[in-house]
Amino acid sequence: MYIEQGYKGNLGVWNFFLIPVGFMLFMVFNYFSTQMLVEEQGQSVEEIMAQMIEMMGKMPFLIVNLLTFVVGLVSIFVWVKYIHQQSITSLTTSRKKIDWKRIGFMFLFWATISVATMLLSVYSAPENFEYNLNWSKFIPLVVVSFLLFPFQTSFEEYLFRGQLLQGLGILTKTRWVPFILTSVLFGVMHAANPEVEKLGMEVMVFYIGTGLLLGAMTLMDEGLELALGFHAANNIIAALMVTSTWTAIQTDSVFLDVSQPSFGLADMLPIVIGYPIILLILAKIYKWSNWKEKLFGKVLSKEEFDNLNAS
């Protein structure tokens, strides 16, 4: 009962929304300020980012962006532990302790698939990629990626699949409302990314689809561990393997994507078909059952939850 773990605190249900709402208001401000800057300067988001990166350098630009998520994750932990007085463990999982093996397994599982699919893309269409490996830049990138990206991805997981999922579940006493709403909000949060400007709103299928995948993992497995491992692997491998001049993450990666940006039906198939297959594989490994109840069922009231724990 992951959502019900939110009852383990001293403040009302409103406390789950303070940091998420504050962050989303910041993202709305960031989106509109970016659009105003684009109109004012007559440049695209890609061009503005290119100027900033040229001025700062790729590595400093990446570090500055990731450090904001360090502050964000620490803020969530401080709020939960000292204000809400809920344990970090109960925000993370319904198990007695955080299952680090689950995080590690999911990280390796998705990292392997990501590397394999990226190498397959390079092999099948070599004209779309430039070999960009520079060891003097790549090794520091590996260190920074493994040190800082987990803060960024964990912040997003604890924000959406942690505080918001538990808060909305407790507020509505349903599982489907937080499952769907947090997935949509997760997608909307990425609306200011340069990928959306370059590829069009169709790319939101990827962001919202990924949100649904991570939400399903969390609800079916009754904890954030698998989502934490998946998200960290996804962003770290992307930063290390393939980037381009028009993505939010720009690094000295192994390959540079120089193809014409597009997002069509072929790009949607891995989401529509691949993501359900991943869930079925995980269901087999972790013996998930009762899908309808866990994804769309009712959330216990505090009294029911307390009585169940007392019995």
Q: What's this model's pTM, rounded to 2 decimal places?
A: 0.93
pLDDT at 169: 96
pLDDT at 87: 95
Residues of the chain predicted below pLDDT 70: 311
Neighbours of 43 (CB within 10 A): 14
d(CA 309, CA 311): 6
SS3 content of the chain, % helix, strand, coil (to 5): 75, 5, 20
- The helix/strand/coil state of 293 is helix
E strand or H helix at 129:
strand 129-131
pLDDT at 250: 87
Could you give the C-alpha distances from 258 to 117, 244, 246, in angstroms and in order? 17, 7, 10
Q: Which of 190, 2, 153, 169 is nearest to 72 (CA)?
A: 153
pLDDT at 127: 94
pLDDT at 167: 95
pLDDT at 270: 87
pLDDT at 252: 93
pLDDT at 33: 82
pLDDT at 262: 82
